[in-house]
Structure 1
């Protein structure tokens, strides 16, 4: 009789131990009783009725999913490889367990297909220069599709866009041609501004013959200070006019 009570006590202890569940702060335990949803519990210590109830743990922390590189043809028929990262978390544990078989796998597959779809609808220039716009569009679409599963997509970021080597060479040539075009424009604008200034200076000097002579003498003075061994002195136009007028008289 004594062994009977000892055995019974052992069974009760094992029963109590097997019914204890501990749910961490960042987790929730979704409990089913005879196959019917009871609800989410946690965090803390809980008792689950063995055989009649079972619990599935759901992690509420933000999940970082690295979308593998996807080969996509853009709207302007350029083949690119694009990868991205998706940040999401479970906001409704009950839906995450009951509405979809595997919410992590389903979210991953949805992210891949959505990335291919959005990049396929955009042109190459848009993919390269308007990533913020595409990131927002991806986040909105994936979040809307996963909302019935109790999932909240907080952000989507396109990480890298890999171009074919031929396209990289073409873009490098285009960038080089653009830089050369800007250099020629800047050089032409500089020549135009210099010509305008020379014209203004010529107009001012033409108003006074004395000004031309003074400028001539100043130039000779500047040349003399440079320690040149040979100085070429041009004949002033005023001096030629003097001799011409003298010959006429």
Structure 2
């Protein structure tokens, strides 16, 4: 279930450089450059429950912020069905992690047993969350700023605060992966890999935090009248692209 947070910080799976802490740890153990390069290119950095996966899905830190913003600013019934559909899709994607609900759906919901993998249901929140987010931006633009400034700051605070909470929680997490058992009794190597996973997770969550702050600042100064609407929206689109491109290259 914790893997759900990959929608806001996507480093449950990532490639490792030759300058990483893991590579340095291998050097200290006497490994050669060729061995290190070969290992870091194949090391299991994914630490979710699935033994075979190409990695979790990344929604985008900014989209999650805009989704929360939409939850505050959209007043029509549209908000509720988009939120409900997003939550429903996420719960379905948990599969065996919420077996009672998912087996019920498998047995009684027409066509559900045709899905190759229940994780495919993340397509539902991937449609609904951005939609509510973009409607939320529209409503923010149309809203009276003095009356809704607190609502905006609440949305920003919740999303940025979630990133800070995840960073704090990471210091007590074990970062154990389903494939760790394949490494046998090499405890020192498992520890190096888990430390690398923790470092990657924190770096990516900090990255998400700053993207949320940047997008929030753009919208804030737009409503303050210090940035023209057209420039603000173009800047927001630019920040979105800057968020997605590095993740897409992983």
The answer to whether TM tops 0.5 is: no
TM-score bin, normalised by smaller chain? under 0.3
Q: Which has the higher strand share?
A: 1
Larger Rg: 1
Q: Which has the higher helix share?
A: 2
TM (norm. structure 1) is 0.25
